[in-house]
Amino acid sequence: MKKVKVLNYFLTILLIGTGLISCNKNENSMRNPFFNELNQTIDFKSITVQHVTDATSEAINRAKENLNNIYTVSSDEKTFENTMRSLDNIYNDLMKVNEVISLLAYVHPDDEIRNKCLESTAEFGKFFNEISLSENLYKAVKTYSSSEEATRLTGANKKYLKETVEEFERNGFALPKEKRDKLKVIQDKLSDLGIQFDSNISSHKDFLIVTEDQIDGLPDDYKNAHRQEDGTYKIGMEYPSYIPFMKYSKSNEAREELAKKFKNIAADKNLDILKQILIEREKLAALLGYKTFAKYRTENRMAKNPQNVWNFENSLKEKVHTKAERDYKELLDVKQKYIGDNSIKKIDSWEASFYNNILLKDKYELDNQKLKEYFEVGNVIDGLFKIAQHLYGVKFEEVKNPSVWSDEVRFYEVKENDELIARFYLDLFPRENKFNHAACFGMISGKMAGDEYQIPTASLVCNFPKATDDMPALMPHNDVETFFHEFGHLMHDLLTKAELVSQSGTNVVRDFVEMPSQIFENWAWNYEALTLFAKHYDTGEVLPKDLHDKMIAARNVGSGLHTLQQIFYGTLDMTYHDKYDANGAKSTTELVKELQNEITLYKFQQGTHFEAGFGHLNGYAAGYYGYLWAKVFAEDMFSVFEQNGIMDQKTGLKLKKVVLERGSTIDEMEIVKEFLGREPNEKAFLKSIGL
């Protein structure tokens, strides 16, 4: 997941970037950790609540001054530098403060700082809405676009100007001022609602207390990490706690209860908020002249319109349904044998992972508990680094004793030909009140800053199992795959060479942003790559080839069921935004039940409200389809590595140059075609899921 704070729906091409605050020599700035000289690091340890407050107000005030400078340039003196690059710099300056504050709102261990960061994120959101509806700014950009210099622009600068004008005009500047004022009210409300929605998910606290009998089946390291003084076990909603319990606990009742709690994350608060979000999005679309919010959202993405998304989802659903039915039958056979009753005809959703694990162990002879012994976290990090460094011709060097927001966080520099080109943070383990999924958080985007290049910086925030007193931190292979996925986002953010912040790194259309992450997952499966780091934590033995063969044989076990689940998520998201009346009689939960029962082979679990904790409904509104959409391109592009060699540096450097360095400086479909040397197709994707 690429964690992108899209704070309004106007000028999206501009607002999903990160940036660096310009140097200001006043005394307040020099004391505030959020304000640094170009390419200096942030002193996270010294950040206080007051620093957050001051940085927010100063960044906004500075932006207002710089915007006024654009407005006051006379029509005949407007240039790309004093209008368009100045606008890019303003967003860059704002987003550097906003993105770091947004990160801290999800990861800082201090409650007061986290809460203040959430408040500041809301304040920034309202200011971005104000900018995006500025008539003075629109007039300045529009006037420049008619100048003689503008007609001579080429390449990325021409694209930037064109898309900026289009976004203004697509998003309200054909409307009279009173309607634009209404849009701002809607946008401000959506900003607040979105922040509340995400915050309620990340701050939700629930758990299940289980007995020794109910935890039977879990490994000792898991038990040791969850055991309480009274001998019971506390199972939380974090992935390292939830996923193993669902996979290994022999207690069907406990798994059912835990699944119910998990599918009710933030349900006490977010059901009402989600309804309000959907209502406001409907209002926004109607005010802008779009029949649905999905039409508005897809218009400037690769999909172009909702119908192309529906065609994609429905076509894929038909292709994978037969495979999903075979997967279901295979699981059902396992359940019948396990219980000793051939009359059983149904598998519930909370049983699927448990029986899938038995299937892997018995039929495919793949024991995930044995397998994770080859994936100690330190070894995985080292191996992943070796692969990325080799493919992209860079080096990662850890910075000792860095200033970080938690002592668990590690900090690295990225060098190319001994030159510092990027930095990143790794925050890999669960903490109380920390963001509980896995995501790449942008902090500072690459861009030209005068004669120097602004060094991009980003963070990987994950929740992998921690070491215990008697066992090192061992990663299930699905966590290894997740780590590679998020690192793919990180490389996209960090290896950029784009001149403008609005086009750098992951600032691409949303239905392409998951391509670089999903292609990199493949190295977590290839044996040549795995031998670099998959070593037994105790003996140092390299992952045996026969165990890897079992991994590959089992890779597409359940792939049809998994793909149907992804289609369900994408269909739910698209239905909410294209075919659903939030003011109507049908609740958001009733739609979840209807679509889950129609698309997946697992029946809806009564008493649950999955949508309340489905964070993608905020950040990926009408865009979740992009995961599968981008995976088609990712698998097609990975086929080039399969042809040339998984560790072929020439192909890796081509991916770096054509995709990662470019950002959105050219059309994303042209990027795909250039890398492939042909039109893309779905053959490799279908093959990857066993079709």
Six token digits for residue 466: 């921690």
Mean of the per-residue pLDDT values of the chain: 93
Contact 70, 140 (CB under 8 A): yes
Residue 523: closest CA among 391, 430, 400: 391
Rounded to whole angstroms, the Cα distance separating 108 from 55 reads 17
- Over 60: is that where the pLDDT of 488 sits? yes
- Over 80: is that where the pLDDT of 435 sits? yes
For 260-328, strand residue ranges (E) read: none
φ and ψ at 457, to 5 degrees? Answer: -140, 140
Q: How confident is the model over 616-657, as pLDDT tens digits? A: 999 889 999 999 999 999 999 999 999 999 999 999 999 999
pLDDT at 17 (0 to 100)? 34
Q: Taking residues 119-135, report their average pLDDT.
A: 91
- Over 60: is that where the pLDDT of 112 sits? yes
Q: What is the DSSP string of 432-457?
A: TTS--S-EEEEEE--EEETTEEEPPE
Q: How confident is the model over 327-336, as pLDDT tens digits? A: 999 999 999 9
pLDDT at 13 (0 to 100)? 35
* Domain ranges across the chain: 2-201, 207-262, 304-364+559-624, 373-556+627-688
CATH of 2-201, one of 1.10.10.10, 1.20.1050.40, 1.20.1630.10, 3.20.20.70: 1.20.1050.40
Six token digits for residue 87: 């606008």
φ and ψ at 439, to 5 degrees? Answer: -160, 155
Contact 29, 35 (CB under 8 A): yes
Q: How confident is the model over 178-222, as pLDDT tens digits? A: 888 899 899 999 999 998 999 999 889 999 999 999 999 999 989
Rounded to whole angstroms, the Cα distance separating 128 from 67 reads 12
3 state SS of 179 = helix
Q: What is the DSSP string of 505-542?
A: TT-S-TTTTTHHHHHHGGGGT-HHHHTTT-B-TTT-PB
Contact 360, 366 (CB under 8 A): yes
Rounded to whole angstroms, the Cα distance separating 12 from 10 reads 5
- Over 90: is that where the pLDDT of 437 sits? no
Q: Taking residues 266-277, report their average pLDDT.
A: 97
- Over 60: is that where the pLDDT of 483 sits? yes
> Which position among 99, 163, 486, 661 bears the catalytic label?
486
Contact 359, 557 (CB under 8 A): yes
- Over 80: is that where the pLDDT of 127 sits? yes
Q: How confident is the model over 316-326, as pLDDT tens digits? A: 999 999 999 99
Percentage of the chain surpassing pLDDT 70? 96
Q: How confident is the model over 529-545, as pLDDT tens digits? A: 999 999 999 999 999 99
Residue predicted with more confidence, 31 or 646: 646
Rounded to whole angstroms, the Cα distance separating 120 from 97 reads 10
| Amino acid of residue 82 | N
Q: Which residue has the tokens 């906003």?
A: 98
Contacts of 296 (CB under 8 A, 6+ apart): 9, 284, 285, 288, 290
Rounded to whole angstroms, the Cα distance separating 521 from 156 reads 30
pLDDT at 202 (0 to 100)? 86
Q: Taking residues 275-289, report their average pLDDT.
A: 96
Give 309's pLDDT tier (boundaries 50, 70, 90).
Answer: very high
Contact 496, 445 (CB under 8 A): yes
Residue predicted with more confidence, 405 or 31: 405
Q: Taking residues 146-170, report their average pLDDT.
A: 95
Which of the residue ranges 105-114, 195-204, 399-408, 517-526 would you say has the lowest mean pLDDT?
A: 195-204
Give 9's pLDDT tier (boundaries 50, 70, 90).
Answer: very low
- Over 70: is that where the pLDDT of 16 sits? no
419 carries an active-site annotation: no
Contact 207, 216 (CB under 8 A): no
pLDDT at 413 (0 to 100)? 98
End-to-end CA distance of the chain: 26
pLDDT at 171 (0 to 100)? 79
**CA 512, 626, 490, 547: dihedral to nearest 10 degrees?**
-120
3 state SS of 364 = coil
- Over 60: is that where the pLDDT of 575 sits? yes
CATH of 373-556+627-688, one of 1.25.40.10, 1.10.1370.40, 1.10.10.10, 1.10.287.3510: 1.10.1370.40
| pTM, entire model | 0.87
pLDDT at 30 (0 to 100)? 57
